[in-house]
A and B are shown apart, each in its own frame.
Chain A
Amino acid sequence: SQQGEEDPQALSIQEGENATMNCSYKTSINNLQWYRQNSGRGLVHLILIRSNEREKHSGRLRVTLDTSKKSSSLLITASRAADTASYFCATPNQAGTALIFGKGTTLSVSS
């Protein structure tokens, strides 16, 4: 069952610009996670934000969480060509036995 839904589905920007991706989810959560996947490769964990946190930073990444709106955003500042990838948000299911992933945002950064 779908939990997270990312928006937009695809995003194309120039190097140096900021990229913002949004995620909406349906049920209450303990945490929300963002992952990156380079074309056809493994998923890399980027950041985890807990339900009692509103904002978290990691390098050029900034994640916000609004539990009242059941939404999160991922901001990548000063993007680089190497940031070209698909980005997924994921939340634990209610039983804590699986991560439920959205379908992802495909980011393309051109130099």
Chain B
Amino acid sequence: EAQVTQNPRYLITVTGKKLTVTCSQNMNHEYMSWYRQDPGLGLRQIYYSMNVEVTDKGDVPEGYKVSRKEKRNFPLILESPSPNQTSLYFCASSSLGLADTYNEQFFGPGTRLTVL
């Protein structure tokens, strides 16, 4: 089944404790992205990757790191989490750049992160 998976689905942690949220897709997609969703602010892009070893900042990259060593994986790293990073996080993938006329984006199930 074509899908984007994320782990963990739920995480409660404390300020400053490094964590990684994994994302994996089995559709051989070049493009992958991380979004966060907050009440009243909607979905905002954190980082994206157009292909292996190619990553770039989205709208809200501060406090996050990513890597793209393999095509299927795109982990999100919080080196020193803070309470303002409490949010619902989504990983997404797509076969081509999103400006392509035919392209849709596939989303993972989300990771609900609470930083105390």
Contacts and interface: CB of A to CB of B under 8 A. Distances in A.
Given A40-B110, A42-B90, A98 B45 contact: yes
A51 B99 CA distance: 11
A101 B19 CA distance: 27
Contacts, number: 72
Interface in B37-60: 40, 42-43, 45, 48, 50, 56, 58-59
Contact of A31 (B40, B88, B102): B102
Contacts of B43: 88, 99, 101
B109 A41 contact: yes
Interface of B: 33, 40, 42-43, 45, 48, 50, 56, 58-59, 88, 90, 92, 97-110, 112
B106 A45 contact: yes
A40 B42 contact: no
Given A42-B110, A97-B48, A98-B33, A103 B97 contact: no
